[in-house]
Amino acid sequence: MLFRSYITPLLVCCIFILTGCYSPEDKEGHPEYFQVYYDKYDSSKNEDKEAALELLNNAFRSFPNPGLIDWFEKFDRDRDVAYYVKTNYIKAMSVSDSMLLLTEDKKEREAYASYHVRALFYKGDCYYKLKRYNEAFYYYSRAKQMAMQFMKDKCSLVEYDSYNGYLFFTQARYDLAASYFYNDCIQQMQCPQDNYNRFVIIQRNLDNIGICYYRLGRFDSADHYYNKALDYISQNESRFPQQHYFARLAKAVVYGNKAQMLEDMRKYSEAESMYIKSAEVTGLTDKAYTSSTQVSLAGLYIKMNKLNQADSLLTIVKALLDTLPNENAMLRWYRLKTELLVKTQQRDIAFDVLQAYNKLKDSVDIRDRKFAAMDINREFESMEQKALNAALQKDNQVKNMYLVIAVTVLMMVVAIVLLVWYNLRRSSRHVKELNRKNEDLQNAFNSLEQSHRENSHILRIMAHDLKNPISAMRNLVYSLLRKEQPAQQREILELVQDTCGTSLNLINDLLNDRRQLSSTRKELVDMARLLESCVELQQAKADEKNQQLYLVAEPAEIMLNTQKIWRVISNIISNAIKFSPPGTEIKISLQKRTSSVLLCVQDQGIGIPDEFKDKIFSAPEKVMRLGTFGEKSYGLGLSISKKIVEEHRGKIWFDSVDGKGSSFYVELPSLN
């Protein structure tokens, strides 16, 4: 088996050695010759794909010099047969390795980056199907990092968010999985490309959202998205007549999912009809999926006490599972067979089947337990942080070069001044010329002063050097939290860890003050609970000034980036405390509206003068004022808050009277 897995990569190497003698004018791809075979294969049903692949292979044998892209597209079809038709994921992984080898030397060029990224995701998919989730996560993360670094077409990156959804789904974190599938679906609809691939992804995401809500026990929401998936397929299937078989298969999958939900709702007759309707279609194109559907139908027959029908169906399914192994379906088959044998008083045989079930389940549980404990969000954030650090390091090198140039210019100016002074003492004959040089020198000094101000600003923005000690502090706290700690000490350590994370994000935003950050990652968050946590953290600061924080919040779930919105709320409340006298009240409210939520922070502080009101969000230095206890202000907080709110498609504004207090408002769109 080990030798066979290397045959295809070695074959690729031999091909490229043999084709190296051809003219350098040979093209990497020849769609004018091969496209007709690609189209023939892509429009074939599953049972016809092997024959279509053989036609493509014959075309390759007769063509004198296929290029790199030609070979990649051929291997793509080889992998498709192994993965979907034969469900041989080991073979599919071997072909994926060949695709990686083809593009390895050119992966950093934009024209080939998308091919290499696709091959990385294919290999991750194989590991995912083999239940080797850690390896799947590794290849998914590598693929996404390469896509972010080398691919400029952001629409081609959209689909990759749904892979996070699959990983969270495997961890049974269905609410997070639903949010990733939902975001992917919305972004797919907003992309200008409108092709068959988009159609496949959107209908799949709608169905996946329904499955997540079904697992959460929210049957109404699940049924809504199942119906949306069916409606979307019906409305768009006529646009792709060559893939009509896929539309029928996609509907059958949704029918099977709806049947499971109807069964849980004890609507057995409707569930039976849906299972049969699904199996009639998939039995012709996807026998592996059909076996899973038939196992579910057998379980339904046992619930309906149709034991003979259940026994017959389980016998049929066992034959399918022996030829097309399906681990999850096999576990359910053992469990249902045991239940059926107990009901028919065959307890001795039932005990043997139950032992086989327990043995298989134990091996699956041991393998999955490690992946279930993985913090996927932390891993992806770490990966994105590394990419950001690399970009900042490169940017820092450019700034250092500018600084060296500025110092060199300064030394040259000093040398000129000394030379002029020396010449002035030596000869009065050059007074007129020196006066002219004096004017040039003054201009140089003015330019130098302006350059000095800009460099001071650059050095202030280069505060990212603070990230190293803060990151070290967060890692140390993380190590302490992994050990057993008293409850009070653990609470303090968790607060320090959260504060370190927020500080790192703030430094990143300061460093990127003049350019848009990477796309804001959002999740479904209870805004009221987030607001409560912010108020609790700010209460200690208010207690120092004997101030009272009053919170009235209505429950509201919205899609947002928790850390960024937490920073906005914390900054507004902190400003209210900073600019309010001791012993005053600060009122904080959260109101749920029809399509948005409104946050209001009202204080009794010093207010905002009229001359500052149109500058408060632009971070000018003249707007910086001291707090009522002499607290310093840097004029950056509200400008950053405005950018974060606008990234969330929200609004931020204020009402204020000088000397009588201020009211700040933040309105964010709610989840529709």
CATH number for 596: 3.30.565.10
Between residues 264 and 152, which one has the greater pLDDT? 264
Q: How confident is the model at residue 296 (pLDDT cuts 50, 70, 90)?
A: confident
User: 22 pLDDT exceeds 50?
Assistant: no
Residue 671 DSSP symbol: P
Between residues 275 and 624, which one has the greater pLDDT? 275
What pLDDT is attached to residue 329?
77
The answer to whether 660 touches 586, Cβ cutoff 8 Å, is: no
Domain of residue 603, residue span: 523-669
Q: 135 and 7, same structural domain?
A: yes
Q: How confident is the model at residue 29 (pLDDT cuts 50, 70, 90)?
A: confident
Mean pLDDT in residue range 87-99: 91
What pLDDT is attached to residue 129?
82
- pLDDT tens digit string along 189-237? 877 766 787 888 889 999 999 999 999 999 999 999 999 999 999 999 8
Residue 395 lies in a domain: yes
Is 661 in a helix, a strand, or coil?
strand
Mean pLDDT in residue range 444-471: 64
Q: 573 and 456, same structural domain?
A: no
Query: What is the rounded distance in angstroms from the CA atom of residue 601 to the CA atom of residue 656?
Result: 12
Q: 528 and 623, same structural domain?
A: yes
Residue 417 lies in a domain: yes
Which of 128, 152, 176 marks a domain boundary? 152
How far lies 16's CA from each of 94, 117, 331, 634, in Å?
18, 21, 45, 61
Q: 534 and 437, same structural domain?
A: no
Is 536 in a helix, a strand, or coil?
helix
Mean pLDDT in residue range 600-618: 87
Highest mean pLDDT of the ranges 95-99, 349-353, 456-460: 95-99
How far lies 345's CA from each of 22, 130, 331, 349, 498, in Å?
74, 36, 21, 9, 58
> Between β-strands 585-592 and 596-602, what pairing exists: parallel, antiparallel or unpaired?
antiparallel
Between residues 620 and 504, which one has the greater pLDDT? 504
The answer to whether 309 touches 276, Cβ cutoff 8 Å, is: no
Length of the chain: 672
Taking phi over 0 as left and psi of -120 to 50 as alpha, with beta for the rest, 299 belongs to alpha
DSSP calls for 558-575: EEE-HHHHHHHHHHHHHH
User: 374 pLDDT exceeds 50?
Assistant: yes
Determine the straight-line distance between the first and last CA of the chain, rounded to whole angstroms.
Answer: 52
* Residue 191: Cβ-neighbour burial (10 angstroms; 0-12, 13-18, 19+): middle
What pLDDT is attached to residue 77?
93
Query: What is the rounded distance in angstroms from the CA atom of residue 486 to the CA atom of residue 554?
Result: 33
Q: How confident is the model at residue 166 (pLDDT cuts 50, 70, 90)?
A: confident
Between residues 602 and 451, which one has the greater pLDDT? 602
Residue 305 lies in a domain: no
The answer to whether 282 touches 293, Cβ cutoff 8 Å, is: yes
Token code pair at residue 123 = 């290999």
Between residues 400 and 94, which one has the greater pLDDT? 94
Could you give the number of structural domains in the chain? 3
Residue 318 lies in a domain: no
Q: 134 and 12, same structural domain?
A: yes
What pLDDT is attached to residue 7?
36
Q: 498 and 453, same structural domain?
A: yes
What pLDDT is attached to residue 596?
92
Residue 102 lies in a domain: yes
Residue 253 DSSP symbol: H
For 665, residues 6+ apart whose C-beta sits below 8 A from its C-beta are 598, 599, 600, 651, 652, 653, 654, 655
Q: 643 and 664, same structural domain?
A: yes
Classify the C-alpha dihedral 489-495-498-503 as positive or negative: negative
Q: What share of the chain is helix, strand, coil (3-state, %, to 5)?
A: 75, 5, 20
What pLDDT is attached to residue 23?
40
The answer to whether 179 touches 523, Cβ cutoff 8 Å, is: yes
Residue 632 lies in a domain: yes
DSSP calls for 265-314: TT-HHHHHHHHHHHHHHHHHH-HHHHHHHHHHHHHHHHHTT-HHHHHHHH
Query: What is the rounded distance in angstroms from the CA atom of residue 401 to the CA atom of residue 383?
Result: 28
Q: 145 and 7, same structural domain?
A: yes
Mean pLDDT in residue range 240-246: 79
Q: How confident is the model at residue 157 (pLDDT cuts 50, 70, 90)?
A: low
Between residues 381 and 644, which one has the greater pLDDT? 644
Q: How confident is the model at residue 45 (pLDDT cuts 50, 70, 90)?
A: confident
User: 586 pLDDT exceeds 90?
Assistant: yes
Q: 571 and 471, same structural domain?
A: no
Q: What is the mean pLDDT of the chain?
A: 79
Mean pLDDT in residue range 354-377: 66
Query: What is the rounded distance in angstroms from the CA atom of residue 36 to the CA atom of residue 58?
Result: 13
Which of 108, 130, 152 marks a domain boundary? 152
Q: 147 and 4, same structural domain?
A: yes
- pLDDT tens digit string along 253-292? 999 999 999 989 999 999 999 988 888 877 666 677 777 8
The dihedral over CA atoms of 315, 317, 323, 328, expressed in degrees to the nearest 10, equals: -130
Q: How confident is the model at residue 582 (pLDDT cuts 50, 70, 90)?
A: very high
Q: 546 and 505, same structural domain?
A: no
The answer to whether 33 touches 63, Cβ cutoff 8 Å, is: yes
Q: 664 and 534, same structural domain?
A: yes
What pLDDT is attached to residue 42?
85
* Residue 319: Cβ-neighbour burial (10 angstroms; 0-12, 13-18, 19+): exposed
Residue 364 lies in a domain: no
Which of 486, 511, 536 marks a domain boundary? 511
Determine how many CB atoms are found less than 10 A away from the CB of residue 378.
10
Residue 165 lies in a domain: no
Mean pLDDT in residue range 94-104: 91
